[in-house]
Amino acid sequence: MRRRTRGAAVKIRLDKDVLAEAVQWAARSLPTRPSVPILAGLLMKAEDRTVVFSSFDYETSARITVPAEVSEPGVALISGRLLADISRSLPNKPVTLTAAGSSLELVCGSARFTLQLLPVNDYPELPQMPEASGTVPSEDFARAVSQVVVAAGRDELLPVFTGVRVEIEGDQVDLLATDRYRMALKELGWNPLSTQASAAALVPAKVLADAARSMTSGETVTLSISTASTGEGLIGLEGEGAGGSRQITTRLLDGEFPKVRHLMSVNPALTVRTNTADLLASVKRVGLVAERNTSLRMLIEEGAVTLEAATGDQAQASEAIEAVVETVGGGEQPITAAGFNPHYLSDALTALDTPYVHFAFTAPGKPCLVTGLTELDGEPATDYRHVIMLMRLPN
């Protein structure tokens, strides 16, 4: 019979802000309603001049390593959310954590807390990081992920749409997401450890977004992918965040990602170019009166687009924005109005990092391709493409 130990004696001292940042970051991965009570614990391992805080829910693991004065190295398991709440409220003084027997004592100035320890040997073993696949500039990666996850689904009953497909081919990483009503694709350069690198993985969008956003303090983020064909489907990300180095692993999503790349290449019949910030501000204003599940109408005229929305007879709004409207191939203008989900259009415009936006329309009711422009009369950027399914307009 295995003895339920509470862990070895541990004594560390560290900066209050370092503790608060580390514990809160690791505790974010803790399940709100753990299937097993032990998963509510935060693992603390002290050795040399560092302490590692870890969490795991059988799907996603998080580890953060921070500097500390270690008087007695060892391992302890504490209630993660309670420790996060306490660390956030402490005065701005050094913190001493002492674990012995069945309890942990936290002292910060005159503030003193005693917490019950959880049995360490009941805690599951954390997964190992897969072998590194390559590195990507941290700021570029965070920006790329944020541009793509806006198009990922939120419905957990359709898990394949809640992920971001990460495709690696040589020195390029492609990120792709869709919720069936919009799609986003970002192409990004990176530094593979092998020039023959090739892999594809479907990663939970929320985990990927949180990881990328929290690892921008260092120059690069290391990606490690282990596909199901080589073992358990797992992706690992490692980089520097505020206060210390961070590692996240998460299981890949099952299921086949829909084939939507062909929607990213269109032969437009009509294009519209305008200022991104001006259009975004107008969408937010006019969209205030858009009734739930009704469209934001974009009327397309020569030299301008007019946004219109309404909530029945209760409220109406409209606003015109200067634009360059061009019919491709000459002839009569094929589209005079398009219906957008106002939230989807706002998300797409927010994701752009260019001063101007380019809309490519093919036919009424068909998908619209949104890309960025650095100059109003320049060529559309191809590294980021966002497709929005248009809504049907009433006659």
pTM to 2 decimals?
A: 0.90
- The answer to whether the 134-251 and 265-388 domains have the same CATH topology is yes
Boundaries of every domain in the chain: 10-122, 134-251, 265-388
* CATH code assigned to 10-122: 3.10.150.10
Reading the block at residue 257, the tokens are: 């990602």
- Buried-exposed string 16-41: b where 16+ CB fall within 10 A, e elsewhere: bebbbbbbbbbbebbbeeeeeeebbb
What's the rounded Cα separation, in Å, for the pair 369 and 183? 9
E strands within 39-84?
Answer: 41-47, 50-56, 60-67, 69-72, 74-79
Structurally, at CATH architecture level, domain 265-388 sits in Roll (3.10)
Residue 3: per-residue pLDDT = 44
Burial 264-283 (b: 16+ CB within 10 A, else e): bebebbbbbbbbbebbbebb
Digit-by-digit pLDDT tens for the chain (395 residues) are 344 555 567 899 999 999 999 999 999 888 888 888 899 999 999 998 999 999 999 999 999 999 999 999 999 999 999 999 999 999 999 999 999 889 999 999 999 999 999 999 999 999 999 899 999 999 999 999 999 999 999 998 899 999 999 999 999 999 999 999 999 999 999 999 987 888 899 999 999 999 999 999 999 999 999 875 545 689 999 999 877 899 999 999 998 898 888 888 888 999 999 999 999 999 999 999 988 878 999 999 999 999 999 887 888 999 999 999 999 876 678 889 999 999 999 999 999 999 999 999 998 889 999 999 999 999 999 999 999 999 988 76
With left for phi above 0 and alpha for psi between -120 and 50, is residue 380 left, alpha or beta? beta
Reference 167, options 230, 255, 237, 257; nearest CA is 257
Query: Model confidence over 329-358: pLDDT tens digits?
Result: 766 788 899 999 999 999 999 999 999 999
Q: Is 134-251 a CATH 3.10.150.10 domain?
A: yes
Answer yes or no: are the C-beta atoms of 105 and 124 closer than 8 Å.
Answer: no
| Paired strand residues for 246 | 64, 239
Element spanning 371, H or E = strand 368-373
Q: Estimate the share of the chain in helix, then strand, then coil, as percent rounded to the nearest 5.
A: 20, 45, 35
